[in-house]
Structure 1
Amino acid sequence: MENGLVLFLLLASSVLPAVMIFLLPERCATLRNTINLLGVSSKIFFVIYLIRGIINDEVFYYAFAFTPQISFVLKVDHLSLLFATLSSILWLFTTIYAIGYFQNSQNQSRFFGFFSLCVTATVGLSIAGNLFTFFVFYELLTLTTFVLVLHTQTVEATKATIIYLAHTIIGGLFFLVGLVALQSIGGDREFVSGGYLHKIVSVEPIVLQIMFVILLIGVGVKAAVFPLHRWLPSAMAAPAPVSALLHAVAVVKAGAFGIIRIVYEVYGVEFAYDLGLLWILLGVAVVTILYGSIMALRQNDIKKRLAYSTVSQVSYILLGVSLFGPLGTIGGMIHLVHQGVMKITLFFCAGAFAKIYGIKKIGQMNGLGRMMPLGAFAFSIGALGMIGVPLTAGFLSKWYLGMGAYENGLLTVLGVIALSSLLNAAYFLPLVYRMWFLPPSEPYTQKPQFRNGHALLILPPLFTALLTLYLGIFALSDYSALQWAKTLVQLEYLR
């Protein structure tokens, strides 16, 4: 197996910290934090090692056959590194944020243990080499994240967990049915550029279309596409670090990433287009984008407004896949990264507002620019990025998606992107206005409720806000999501 050990070390860099953290007494906060930071730092080291290797045409691969029809495969390519890099970097910021957020709280060993297992599942599915291995890590993600949603063990959190499990278990069953069907007609196949189903000429197109819909439901649950999205707003009962990772790094991105793998590497985008599957995906994406934006407008709770924003924004990735062209593909790929960076910024800030001043409702945000200028600045950058204001990462995503729609003569889709941006402005700009141009509301002129760990709550969103600007302003640099996405297209990897 070529360089397979590195792949297991990549996974072990979060599994071993999880085991050690579970065994630690609750009182060992310093040691637990040290283990957390060493784990995430080592994961970033291995990701950088893999990036350097792929650039130098090294092969990283491991396979183990359970049966002639079922094998466990790990491999690294440009697409997997895009997702693994996003996950690892944002997990560093989330770890720092969570250490400050949970300072002096109970059950930290349980939280950070499952937190580390969650990143194992996320990175594992990014380097999965076939649909079976992807399914294994996909379900592991469900088993690790539901504990995080339940963390506070309140009535609201319990209800949210039940809704989350109901959706993800049903989604997992659909995924399993689709997986078994594909295995039965195509055998044990690895992900491959251009897909492999088009080579199986004995299968009727209607069968492949039905299997695609089944798989789309299976992964669409985690991607929170309409009408499979209900779990996501409910899960806002979880603590802010959990909300951040659900929206920006782990669950919804796992679903979107699964759709990318299925379209490009199982069916092949050209074959999917010939079968009419991209029109199905386009319809789902457009409806979800508009629905999520309209529902966001109706929310008075900050986190729920952000949640419905995620429902809308993640489907931009699916929109890019469905546009069938290089520009749309680039737009979808970079939004996988850009949305994660911008959305984690917003959730970090929302958590800080609630933790420090007890602010959870939009009507309470007046004057936050005076009370928390750095936090308000970071939130403003994240919000402007989501709208698609020039010089932010979000502008690039929407620009390429718009060009992709224009390239294919889909002027209606171009109108949907424009309308969605207007709706984004309608539900984000009033929040920015309240923070900077209205006087503080009573009784939030009082002293902060939470003094310890302020820096750990403010610095992570400040850095991710600056990263939002970097990805927009320096998009042509070698170290940007745009350049990496262009490389994918130039290599004809996504074709």
Structure 2
Amino acid sequence: MTATIESAKLLIPLAVTLVAPFAIWFNRRDVNKREAMSFIAAAVAFLTILTFVPGVLKGEIYTYTLFTILPGITVSFVADGLGMIFALIATFLWGFATSYNVGYMRGLNEHAQTRYYFCFAVAIFGAVGVAFSANVFTLYLFYEVITVFTYPLVAHHQDADGFAGARKYLVYLMGTSKLFLLPAMVLTYVLCGTLDMSLGNVVNGMFPADVVAKHPNLVRLTYALYICGLAKAALMPFHNWLPSAMVAPTPVSALLHAVAVVKAGVFSVSRIILSGFGVQTMDVLGLGLPTAYLAALTIVAASFIALTKDDIKARLAYSTVSQLSYVIIGVALLTPSAVQGGLMHIPHHAFSKITLFFGAGAIYVATHLKKISLMNGLGRKMPWTFGAFGLASLSMIGMPPVCGFVSKWYLVNGTLQTGQIVLLVALLMSTALNAGYFVPIFYRAFFMKPVVDVEKYKEAPLTMVVPLCFTALVSVALGFYPQLFQDFVRIFGNY
């Protein structure tokens, strides 16, 4: 039995992540204090979110309305099983990203470091806001906060490539949210009289049955607008901003791919499908399978493109485009097994993908190499970095005992339960293609003759190597003990 509890405690992690950027700016003249602010804020935010875990796992839903704008349009927050998944990984990984940032930014003597840390912290504030959004309006506000404050991060180098990549990033994400997401919100309000999502009930959703029966095509249009408007999920053809954003520093790429931006996208799609439309409306209007097929196309096409990329960040970018659609296939299939696989892939992908980007950044700081074809023999000089990279690669491929295997197992079961052989083939093809573009990196690093002088290289600073090894080990631990996030999904869906 779900219990809803009104609690102002929900504002604490939001307040912590809101104050953090200003604390960073206030301490801008002392780099150690400035960076300490990020560590402290990450720890406090994570610990305050952790206090909700026991209640949420017992079936409690915490809510709080900050203020009302119009009837049915409020700024409201909720902590439930789905929101806890995203909020926990965003704040937990923030601390490790900060450690990595210190090594990367100092190691390369990057400019505008205070601005960088400030915008990074605001992006985490946006991610926590998205995670705790109780309605579409609140979700939209924080979704846009992430977009606006990651623009300076993408454009950080302030060169022609940086501004071009950031411009495409902004045009895609702001353009789709204004052209599609805003109209979707308007239609939702007209049809439902509210923007509040259905909390604790993934079956019925927020659209009344009589509205669905009377205006089925209008509800279908609303759904299509949401899918197009949430371009952070990187479904094709709205994916091209993601590879273009790779001009950013590598820690920003990790933020984009693992911590905040794309996770906000697939989280929002999951929230709209399950808490917005609900299983019943999705099923009655036949919305799930077309979404799943679009995700399957994205998975396979992006994997083929990744095979062609020699730049390591470009290969990882297209890998992300592919892997994100695992989440969407899972929630679009609407069966308990598939939904569990899809939602569990949010944290599983986060830990594995941040390890991969941390590894790419460590390689660049230590060697200034970006091309995979030049990395022969590097594993002998950087065994910790490439060892962690190898573990995270196994997760992307879906090999046991790493956590990617668990979510893919549930997804495969979901396709079998629904008899969707095409989707099963897409998942299996993706596994083979993932192996095709990840295994050669590891093989080159340890077993091929060097093409450059690798003897002059060594591991990156410990502030970079320790976080990437830790996140790799977490990926393995989640493979053996997936119960925590599995329980959040179970509670959220009442499975």
Checking the alignment, whether the CA contact within 8 Å between 2:24 and 2:117 is kept in structure 1 is yes
1:248 aligned onto 2:258: yes
Q: Secondary structure at the match of 1:229?
A: coil
Structure 2 residues without counterparts, runs of 5 or longer: none
Instruction: Name the structure 2 match of 1:22.
Output: 25
1:462 aligned onto 2:473: no
The 3 A distance-change label for structure 1 pair 224 and 129 is: same
1:267 aligned onto 2:271: no
Per-residue deviation, residues 317-376 of structure 1 (Å, max 9, x unmatched): 000012221110111011111111111000000000011111210111111221111001
Provide the C-alpha distance between the structure 2 equivalents of 1:98 and 1:3, rounded to a whole number of angstroms: 37
1:140 aligned onto 2:145: yes
Instruction: Name the structure 1 match of 2:83.
Output: 80
Match of 2:135 among 117, 130, 133: 130
Q: Secondary structure at the match of 1:190?
A: coil
Kindly state the Cα deviation for residue 5 of structure 1 after the two structures are TM-superposed: 2.9
Provide the C-alpha distance between the structure 2 equivalents of 1:298 and 1:454, rounded to a whole number of angstroms: 31
Provide the C-alpha distance between the structure 2 equivalents of 1:445 and 1:273, rounded to a whole number of angstroms: 60
Kindly state the Cα deviation for residue 482 of structure 1 after the two structures are TM-superposed: 2.7
1:213 aligned onto 2:224: yes
Provide the C-alpha distance between the structure 2 equivalents of 1:16 and 1:166, rounded to a whole number of angstroms: 29
Kindly state the Cα deviation for residue 59 of structure 1 after the two structures are TM-superposed: 4.9
Checking the alignment, whether the CA contact within 8 Å between 2:358 and 2:468 is kept in structure 1 is yes
Match of 2:121 among 84, 96, 116: 116
Structure 2 length normalisation: TM-score? 0.94
The 3 A distance-change label for structure 1 pair 57 and 225 is: closer
Match of 1:9 among 3, 7, 12: 12
Instruction: Name the structure 1 match of 2:183.
Output: 177
Match of 1:395 among 384, 405, 416: 405
Q: Secondary structure at the match of 1:184?
A: helix
Q: Secondary structure at the match of 1:299?
A: coil
Provide the C-alpha distance between the structure 2 equivalents of 1:447 and 1:268, rounded to a whole number of angstroms: 54
Provide the C-alpha distance between the structure 1 equivalents of 2:9 and 2:133, rounded to a whole number of angstroms: 14
Q: Quick one: which amino acid aligns to residue 136 of structure 2?
A: L
Per-residue deviation, residues 105-157 of structure 1 (Å, max 9, x unmatched): 32111111111110000010100000000001011111111111111112111
Instruction: Name the structure 1 match of 2:161.
Output: 156
Provide the C-alpha distance between the structure 1 equivalents of 2:146 and 2:235, rounded to a whole number of angstroms: 18
Checking the alignment, whether the CA contact within 8 Å between 2:188 and 2:195 is kept in structure 1 is no
Kindly state the Cα deviation for residue 3 of structure 1 after the two structures are TM-superposed: 5.3
Checking the alignment, whether the CA contact within 8 Å between 1:131 and 1:190 is kept in structure 2 is yes
Q: Quick one: which amino acid aligns to residue 186 of structure 1?
A: C
Checking the alignment, whether the CA contact within 8 Å between 1:365 and 1:440 is kept in structure 2 is yes
The correspondence of residues 84-99 of structure 1 with structure 2, limited to 5 A, is: 84-99=87-102
Kindly state the Cα deviation for residue 483 of structure 1 after the two structures are TM-superposed: 3.5
Provide the C-alpha distance between the structure 1 equivalents of 2:284 and 2:6, rounded to a whole number of angstroms: 37
Provide the C-alpha distance between the structure 1 equivalents of 2:72 and 2:326, rounded to a whole number of angstroms: 35
Checking the alignment, whether the CA contact within 8 Å between 2:81 and 2:492 is kept in structure 1 is yes
Kindly state the Cα deviation for residue 380 of structure 1 after the two structures are TM-superposed: 0.3
Provide the C-alpha distance between the structure 2 equivalents of 1:365 and 1:396, rounded to a whole number of angstroms: 30
Q: Secondary structure at the match of 1:300?
A: coil
The 3 A distance-change label for structure 1 pair 40 and 2 is: same
Checking the alignment, whether the CA contact within 8 Å between 1:342 and 1:382 is kept in structure 2 is yes
Q: Quick one: which amino acid aligns to residue 75 of structure 1?
A: V
Checking the alignment, whether the CA contact within 8 Å between 2:59 and 2:491 is kept in structure 1 is no
Instruction: Name the structure 2 match of 1:380.
Output: 390
Q: Secondary structure at the match of 1:445?
A: helix
Provide the C-alpha distance between the structure 2 equivalents of 1:203 and 1:142, rounded to a whole number of angstroms: 36
Q: Quick one: which amino acid aligns to residue 312 of structure 1?
A: S
Q: Secondary structure at the match of 1:106?
A: coil
1:36 aligned onto 2:30: no
Per-residue deviation, residues 163-197 of structure 1 (Å, max 9, x unmatched): 00110111111101100111112112422123021
Provide the C-alpha distance between the structure 2 equivalents of 1:458 and 1:118, rounded to a whole number of angstroms: 24
The correspondence of residues 302-341 of structure 1 with structure 2, limited to 5 A, is: 302-341=312-351
Q: Secondary structure at the match of 2:233?
A: coil
Q: Percent identity?
A: 35
Q: Secondary structure at the match of 2:110?
A: coil
**Number of equivalent positions:** 483
The 3 A distance-change label for structure 1 pair 288 and 57 is: closer
Q: Quick one: which amino acid aligns to residue 44 of structure 1?
A: F
Q: What's the RMSD between the two structures over aligned residues?
A: 1.6
Instruction: Name the structure 1 match of 2:365.
Output: 355
The 3 A distance-change label for structure 1 pair 324 and 467 is: same
Checking the alignment, whether the CA contact within 8 Å between 1:164 and 1:232 is kept in structure 2 is yes
The 3 A distance-change label for structure 1 pair 342 and 423 is: same
Checking the alignment, whether the CA contact within 8 Å between 2:153 and 2:252 is kept in structure 1 is yes
Checking the alignment, whether the CA contact within 8 Å between 1:198 and 1:267 is kept in structure 2 is no
Checking the alignment, whether the CA contact within 8 Å between 1:119 and 1:250 is kept in structure 2 is yes
The correspondence of residues 470-485 of structure 1 with structure 2, limited to 5 A, is: 470-475=477-482, 478=483, 480-485=484-489
Kindly state the Cα deviation for residue 56 of structure 1 after the two structures are TM-superposed: 5.1
